Amino acid sequence: MALLLVLFLANILTTSKGSISQPDHVHHQIHLLRPQSGAGGNLVPGLSCLSWRLGVETNNIIGWKTVPQVCEGYVGHYMLGHQYLKDSRAVVNEALLYAQSLELDRDGIDVWIFDIDETTLSNLPYYAKHGFGVEPFNATLFNKWVMEGAAPALPESLRLYRKLLSLGIKAVFITGRSEDQRSVTAANLKKVGYHTWEKLVLKEPSYSGKPSVIYKSNERKKVEKNGYRIVGNIGDQWSDLLGTNTGNRTFKLPDPMYYIS
């Protein structure tokens, strides 16, 4: 397991420099993480794990609590392999094309909304250790991981962030992390390359028990009421992108590990 975490972090460092390739032996060793039965197994007749993931990413399969047991090996291999990085790059490439096409006034009020977990910061070291979503979410263990401040950047999201800044578009982070995690989250962001932002919005206790789509819609509305234009919005959950005040265009990053309503 320790070897796999080292390989993942090495891969993140490599991709952050512009390359998503890795040696074949690294690619094959990813299979050692979990049993591979999910790669070709069926959930129901005619539905493979690949089809399940497609349904998840297109928001046709909603409200699910855990990854199907038979698909844990498939999801683990996808997240730690080439394809997750390639899919993320494809999304970011489209976001960059869009951003570069904008005729900006350079008046300082254009912003881009970023989610944090599995969007700007990656928790793959945590999931590689604790499993890929087949068990119910353990908030205690996850919060302990967050407080370590050790999450690496998603390389493609960091590439988007840097380009947006160069275009004069400011970053606004809106995360489901709680307000008491502000300092460690800010330090983690800066440590991996997100060195500046216009706003960092964390979840207040008043949103406890409310769907994320309501929380994020309300916070985006506040951003616009403060005079900003939301020109873009990127996240790994559909609840990051649906609701109100979503911005001029949204971009969905892949994440078959969990679902947040």
CB 120 within 8 A of CB 194: yes
Superfamily of structural domain 2-252: HAD superfamily/HAD-like (3.40.50.1000)
Residues 6+ apart with CB under 8 A from 85: 11, 15, 20, 155, 156
Instruction: Say if residue 89's pLDDT is above 60.
Output: yes
Instruction: Say if residue 69's pLDDT is above 60.
Output: yes
- Give the tens place of pLDDT for each residue, 144-173: 999 999 999 999 999 999 999 999 999 999
In this structure, the dihedral spanned by the alpha carbons of residues 215, 219, 220 and 226, taken in order and rounded to 10 degrees, is 170
β-pair partners for 234: 114, 251
pLDDT for 46 equals 61
Encoding tokens for residue 138? 């353990």
Task: Map out the domains of the chain as residue ranges.
Answer: 2-252
Measured CA to CA, the distance from residue 135 to residue 243 in angstroms comes to 28
pLDDT for 218 equals 98
State residue 11 phi and psi, 5-degree precision: -65, -40
Instruction: Say if residue 27's pLDDT is above 70.
Output: no
- Give the tens place of pLDDT for each residue, 108-134: 999 999 999 999 999 999 999 999 999
pLDDT for 47 equals 75
With pLDDT > 70 as the criterion, what percentage of the chain qualifies?
82
Measured CA to CA, the distance from residue 235 to residue 174 in angstroms comes to 10
